[in-house]
Amino acid sequence: MTANPAAGAPAGRPGAVVTGMGLLTPVGRKPAEVFEALTAGRSGIRALPEGHAAHGWLEAAGLAQAVEGREVLPPTETRCVDRFVLLALAAADDALADAGLVVGRDVDPRRVAVVLATGGGGLQTFEQQSHRRLDRGRTGVSPYLLPGMLSNMAAARIAIKHGIRGYSSAVVTACAAGAQAVAEGLRLIRAGDADVVVCGGSESSLHPTIAAAFTNARALAHGWEDPERSSRPFDTGRNGFVLGEGSGVLVLERTAHADARGAAGYADLIGWGASTDAHHPTMPRPDGEGAADSMRAALANADLAPADIGYVNAHGTGTKLGDLAESAALLAVFGTHQPAVSSTKGSTGHLLGAAGAVEAAVTALAVARGVLPPTANLESPDPACALDHVRGAARTVRPGAALTNAFAFGGHNISLIFGPASTRAVK
């Protein structure tokens, strides 16, 4: 399959192509498996099994598959390593394998960067160790607590395991973090600071304290007899989001570097935008202007017009205010040219700091395969969210360029734009 000759980076800017993906989500692990589930509209949201720490605390959740420490780390290094780190390592291993890239063999380790985001980091490990302190005093706290739960430890562990010696960072902008890490990857490649960036997000927050906090804030979907129907972005019956967990990691590569080693690309990352609402710690601006600013910035960064966007993978959490604000933003940015819109959170739930990275991968796959996944459970679209919703079934259409949004508590907004891969070989 040959590349689209119209694809590529904006004039004068190095291209960044997605050559690898690693996904651990409530609907599957491998990119093909995840995308097939999403395009079929299948849900990965379930009642948590008995024995899970959050059983009885959450009505429904998006649970990623189990990852044992020994799968990704030597047994001597798994003490107190939080699940968010294990998920990140597994996704990074899969992404590098998918890219066919070995650091030190295919690329100078000093020319590889890692940017791995999380919303909360190792909160579960911190909570467990806090209980041990209360029960047993100072001696009950593991000396491995800090290297097991700090928010930068997913990035650090990936770098250590794969010998990555370039730029390394952790992004913690709540639910925008995963997308912001991917944006940082594009910035590093465009600046000439890296040839390859391993970037994405990981989250594991399915435990009682976080569940209680979101429940008491009245943020979670509730009252649904069938958990699979509880996540309902843009639907009139939506009444909150469903908490999920998982990890998404992309390998971004300078296009010339990918071509030199004969690597195939899924899609190019051609633009990013960011803004801040400066409005409220948890609620979005009702007029959606912060989100609109982010999308406009991404379009400008990609040298595109609104009419060039054929698909938007929306942030679309299923909250009353959030979906209204994002719809207002989309209408303001795109006007009479409304691209097709869907939210894959209807199938996965909200993966918090990992959401933006997983949805970036889904958006790249939609561009690569010419298929737009529907919003699961969107049965009666809210008239106030008057968008061109993909619902009921997937659409087979080449979107050209596609945009994905990630918004967060604190008013952080990130938008990413993907276009057809400009590498000679295309996945």
What is the rounded distance in angstroms from the CA atom of residue 367 to the CA atom of residue 387?
20
Residue 385: active-site member: no
Residue 175: active-site member: yes
DSSP string, 316-346: --S-HHHHHHHHHHHHHHHTT-PPEEE-THH
Calculate the CA 13 to chain-centre distance. Answer: 25
| Residue tagged active-site, from 80, 162, 175, 199 | 175
Starting from the edge strand earliest in sequence, which strands make up the sheet with 196-203, in order? 168-169, 112-117, 196-203, 246-254, 16-24, 267-276, 412-420, 401-408, 309-313, 340-342, 388-389
Q: Distance of CA 236 to CAs 60, 226, 377, Å?
A: 19, 17, 11
| Residue tagged active-site, from 162, 207, 257, 350 | 350
Q: Contact 177/118 with Cβ under 8 angstroms? A: yes
Helices (H), 335-388: 345-348, 355-369
Residues contacting residue 364 through CB under 8 Å, at least 6 positions apart: 18, 21, 250, 266, 267, 269, 418
Residue 350: active-site member: yes
DSSP annotation of 54 reads T
**Residue 154 tokens, joined:** 């997913």
DSSP H or E segment with residue 259: helix 255-260
Which three-class secondary structure string do you get for 301-316? HCCCCHHHEEEEECCC
E strands in 152-266: 168-169, 196-203, 246-254, 264-265
Q: Distance of CA 398 to CAs 20, 43, 166, Å?
A: 21, 24, 36
Amino acid (one-letter) located at 391: R
Residues contacting residue 14 through CB under 8 Å, at least 6 positions apart: 189, 190, 192, 254, 255, 256
| Residue tagged active-site, from 162, 207, 257, 315 | 315
Would you please indicate which residues are annotated as catalytic (active-site) residues? Answer: 175, 315, 350
